Amino acid sequence: MLKIIQNKIILLTFGTVISISLHAQQNLKLIYNKPAENWNEALPIGNGKLGAMVFGGVSQEHLQLNEETIWAGEPRNNVPKNTFDSIQKIRRLLNEDQFEKAQDLSNKTYPRAAPKDLNYGMPYQTMGDLFLDFKGHEKFKNYNRTLDIEKAVSTVSYAVNGVTFKREIFASFADNVVVIKLSSNKKGSLNFSVNASTPHLKKSIFIEKNQLIIKGTSGSADNKIGKINFKTIAIPILKGGKITSTENELTISGADEVVIYVSIATNFKKYNDISGNPDQRVSEYLNKALSKKYDAELKAHIEKYQKYFNRVSLNLGTTDQAKKTTDIRIKEFANSKDPDLIALYFQFGRYLLISSSQQGTQPANLQGIWNYQLNPAWDSKYTVNINTEMNYWPAENTNLSEMHEPLFDMIQDLSVTGQESAREMYHARGWNMHHNTDLWRITGIVDGGFYGMWPMGGAWLTQHLWNHYLYTGDKEFLKKYYPALKGSALFYLDVLQQDPSKKYLVVSPSMSPENTYMKSVGITAGTTMDNQLVFDVFNNFINASKVLNEDENLSNEVKTALEKLPPMQIGQHTQLQEWLKDMDRTDDKHRHISHLYGLFPSGQISPFRNADLAEAAKNSMIYRGDKSTGWSMGWKVNWWARLLDGNRAFKLISDQLTPAPMETQGQAGGTYPNLLDAHPPFQIDGNFGCTSGIAEMLLQSYDGYLYILPALPDALPNGSVKGLKARGGFEVDIEWKNSKLTKLIVKSTLGGNARIRIAKNIKLTSKTKLNIAKNENLNEYYQINTIKTPLISDKAKLKGFNAPDTQVFDFNTKKDAVYIFEVK
Ligand code: FUC
């Protein structure tokens, strides 16, 4: 039954009431009825540079504080010297099928523990903690704690002895400060003290002119030296009352209202320059913020945030679950109907990207910008064999293109520092890196010759440059980053080796990230992922050089090498082969399924163009199973979306929205009460991966067309999304009811042919003339790089891939015009 009451559609299905507002999504708040008991319950705020976790305690408010450039270490790369001969030897051993010996030599050449004169990357570190201690607040009522992701403001409120106390906390996008406003409904009732701590060894905490100051130097207990100096200042501004101080504590008594401004600055300027002046910088940030009134600061903050956040709305309907606190909603998700939690999770992913990655900041690291330790898991650095890339999957399709820029800046840096590893380790031109980097843009081996022998980090990262160009059509951007694309192509031109059996050109040595094909042996040549990555690197270079009219000769040379890359292969278990030889095991449950890079984020496998490969990829997914680390499940949502199986993608979202275990290690991911993703421990990639996957279920644009609702699950029959982005600069609004498309709006920002794929039995009406699509799409941002015909094992039993019945239309668009389609 379907009724429309006051702009709402009320659907009565199986006794459950699902109401969908026809306008914006209603519930954009994380809500709790008790303070955070641990970090995984605290709420993240951030402005790209500064981050804080808000605990919302009553007797004690606790803000764990971060600044994005507080890392151990100092400017330097970590490229091992004189290892080229070993690499040559490893290549020979691999050619002779002496796999164990090759792995042994790699492990010996690059030991598991960092040699003295090198390092395996430096940790990202917390600044410390700010505490507000309230006397007499032990007994309280009506507690409420929220994170409003529509405004990027966290709130706390409660009552003590009939007086209501309120806090409003945000990391301002307008100025570089964290702002804490404390108020109550009774004059003169704010009495509390302000103090701080920091775990850094070199530190001082003191009071100067009613300001709380924390100074320190990065560096951890385990001998990882640090040269980042930081200075933090907290300044309380009072309405009424008075302020007194001891050596390291401020006490506020009888105030009506207090606003505390906190800022942090360091000496970091660039990966090779730490000559900044933290004292001067932190004062500048604070002076700028203090020159405004609180309300003006808040308004400017919200405006700047909403400029990005409001571009996309998602409405999947709400049920009574939405009235419950967020922790309970996560607990009950599997056994309740709570489509709105998916919308909230999606928007929370966008909130996290805006809050951890702004123009001019560092890219989001393994924990975004939030980390309470000196030695966090995997140093909270940039692991680029999946994690860093995943952080940026939602950047383009969820309309946050500007948030992608810090990653481009990092790639630019790496394309310089990575020339050393290319030259020293491989005697190659161009640049490369391995599977990790940090604030200092290291490009050498990390974690030794087993995990680290993967010279492909640059190959993957540069995909982001080309994709940004496909989404935005920004030729100036392409020009600026063309040298990074070219440098990566040059590296592979020089590094590719001829495989002795079939004479393909392959990367050797390398590995399929972190997986093995024999006990403790992963080193090999020509993994499927490497072949796919080099295919993309070469095509990006060829295409970019064509757009910019540069390097014709080099482009021809790259085309010749491209022809010699191995094709994808379907193995004996009807799986997509992970290695050049058919060595996949059907009981392999490894979290990395790297050979499916070709399915997503790359677009080399399409259910319509290469049904056999899609079927093989699907089988590989089924063998690996669903449950895994948070990021692995996030990736699986995207893969099932690309395989057009909305129900299986939904199942993976449900796995992701399962309460995370309390263990701090392991491979059973899920979601913490604060909606952050668990590896475990907390790792932000899974949030971003799942956010991207939800977008991929609603709109895809990689295969020559915009596919509207490619993977809509049965559990989300009604909804609407506004503002998703597709390649070629298209912006798309979609509405659907009873699992069918009802309205489509396409805004064209670049002009050009729009080719759309929709489900078969749908009749679109519009003023716009639609033509049935024929031949290739002529839109320049939708060109397909044709892959080689796959090789299929004699033992494979292909059954055929059941792609849904669809229809494909073309319509011509003009720049900045809007096209509306309705379904009658
Ligand atoms: C890769 C993954 C791990 C973890 C780490 C940060 O090494 O294999 O699961 O996510 O990165």
DSSP for 58-86? SSEEEEEEEETT-BSB-S---PPSS-HHH
677 contact partners, CB below 8 Å, separation of at least 6:
630, 631, 634, 656, 660, 669, 670, 671, 683, 684, 685, 686, 687, 690
Select from 120, 382, 631 the residue to mutate for testing ligand 1; criterion: most ligand atoms less than 8 Å from CB.
631
Cα(304)–Cα(401) distance, rounded to whole angstroms?
15
Q: What is the pLDDT of residue 808?
A: 98
329 contact partners, CB below 8 Å, separation of at least 6:
321, 322, 336, 338, 341
Select from 367, 381, 383 the residue to mutate for testing ligand 1; criterion: most ligand atoms less than 8 Å from CB.
383
Show the tokens assigned to 434. Answer: 């391995």
Cα(439)–Cα(426) distance, rounded to whole angstroms?
24
Go through 406-428 and write b for each residue having 16 or more CB atoms within 10 A of its CB, e for each that does not: bbbbbbebbbbbbbbbbbbbbeb
**Residues 714, 719, 724, 728, CA torsion sign:** positive
Q: What is the pLDDT of residue 427?
A: 98
Cα(404)–Cα(409) distance, rounded to whole angstroms?
9
* Atom of ligand 1 minimally distant from the CA of 683: 10
- Closest protein CA for atom 8 of ligand 1: 514
Q: What are the C-alpha distances in Å from 373 to residues 48, 65, 262, 609, 681? A: 19, 11, 20, 48, 12
Cα(820)–Cα(765) distance, rounded to whole angstroms?
9
- Cα–ligand 1 centroid distance for 21 (angstroms): 40
Instruction: Determine if residue 514 is left, alpha or beta; phi over 0 gives left, psi from -120 to 50 gives alpha, anything else beta.
Output: left
Q: What is the pLDDT of residue 445?
A: 97
Ligand 1 lined by 383 (C-beta under 6 Å): yes
Ligand 1 lined by 378 (C-beta under 6 Å): yes
* Atom of ligand 1 minimally distant from the CA of 592: 8
Cα(416)–Cα(435) distance, rounded to whole angstroms?
17
Show the tokens assigned to 734. Answer: 């979609």
Q: What is the pLDDT of residue 221?
A: 62
Q: What is the pLDDT of residue 116?
A: 85
* pLDDT under 70: residue ranges of the chain: 1-26, 221-223
Cβ(399)–Cβ(311) below 8 Å: yes
Helix axes 646-656, 339-356, angle to 10 degrees: 70
Reported as half-sphere exposure (CB side, CA atoms, 13 A), residue 187 has a value of: 2
Is the bond into 601 cis (omega within 30 degrees of 0)?
A: yes
- Cα–ligand 1 centroid distance for 467 (angstroms): 24
Q: What is the pLDDT of residue 117?
A: 85
Q: What are the C-alpha distances in Å from 729 to residues 721, 732, 782? A: 17, 10, 11
Question: Where do we find the tokens 């390649």?
Answer: 727
- Cα–ligand 1 centroid distance for 630 (angstroms): 10
Tens of pLDDT, residues 656-715: 999 998 888 889 899 999 999 999 999 999 999 999 999 999 999 999 999 999 999 999
- Cα–ligand 1 centroid distance for 519 (angstroms): 19
Ligand 1 lined by 396 (C-beta under 6 Å): no
